Amino acid sequence: MGTASTPPALLPNDDSALDAQDTADDEPDTIAMKGTGSKSQRLPVRAKIEFTAIISEEAADPEKAGDFGITRFAKPTYKTRTIAREKGVFQVKATLASDIKIKVRAKHGPDGQTDIESDSDPAITRANYSMIVFDFTPYHGSNKPPCTHFWARDLTLKHERFHAGEDEAFAKQGTEDVQKQLNHVKKLDEETLQTMLDNTPDFVLGVVNVNMGDAGETRAYDDGIKSYQARADAIKAKGDSGTYPPPSPAQ
């Protein structure tokens, strides 16, 4: 198998790791190999790696029974990936793409919650408006509205789009980080370079995962609080002034 230096299992997270690996070899092979095309020839890297998100939205039930909606970021794959030896450097050009899939329930919430799309939604009545106001008013100390009997599909979609936007931004950040690391390497052999490119999708996925989770959820609810509060306020104002009709016998 290849050279003594083992390529990182994942791309090292700081420039110094790569520089250290590079200098540890004392660069003997840079002069040992004449001509071009040798597998072990070590060259600087000039990398241009781009990331694209393919965001799709579906009116469908999330996998988890209790979820109103879900956003899934898929590990990126290469759409293009080339390495060329030009003017004494490895020219890397690559494009990564990830599917980001948003799913939001089509009509009812997970516990049969009624969708209230605006303050003039036909489902609002004189009898239920104060319950809707309660459901859309975020709890004290949390920006998450209870949504026990009522939900807002459009605001859920907005929440999921916020997640998708963050997924995309963190993936771009991870990709830029890889590009920067490659461009900072003094010299590298092609095998190591290929391994690093192989590891890049996992690295980018890792950057997204480490930045999302609970913190991402809090940011998404923080982003949505004004929209829920505005809807609750508008419904309360109309309800208090007697705008809504009495419940129909069918309800």
Sites of contact with Zn ion (CB under 5 A): 217, 220
Of the two residues 50 and 223, which places its CB atom closer to Zn ion in the complex?
223
Of the two residues 68 and 90, which places its CB atom closer to Zn ion in the complex?
68
Residue 140 in 3-state DSSP? coil
Nearest 5°: phi and psi at 44? -70, 165
Least separation in angstroms between residue 159's CB and Zn ion is 5
Of the two residues 28 and 213, which places its CB atom closer to Zn ion in the complex?
213
Residue 164 CB neighbour total at 10 angstroms: 19
Least separation in angstroms between residue 113's CB and Zn ion is 16
Q: In whole angstroms, give the CA distance from residue 135 to residue 129.
A: 10
Least separation in angstroms between residue 78's CB and Zn ion is 29
Please give the residue whose beta carbon sits closest to Zn ion in the complex.
220
Of the two residues 117 and 217, which places its CB atom closer to Zn ion in the complex?
217
Contact 100, 70 (CB under 8 A): no
Of the two residues 22 and 167, which places its CB atom closer to Zn ion in the complex?
167
Of the two residues 27 and 217, which places its CB atom closer to Zn ion in the complex?
217
Least separation in angstroms between residue 173's CB and Zn ion is 20
Helix (H) or strand (E) run with residue 107 in it: none
Contact 105, 68 (CB under 8 A): yes
Six-digit token string for 72: 């899934």
Least separation in angstroms between residue 221's CB and Zn ion is 7
Least separation in angstroms between residue 136's CB and Zn ion is 16
Q: CB-based burial of residue 30 (10 Å sphere; 0-12 exposed, 13-18 middle, 19+ buried)?
A: middle
Pairing of strands 45-59, 89-104: parallel
Nearest 5°: phi and psi at 56? -130, 150
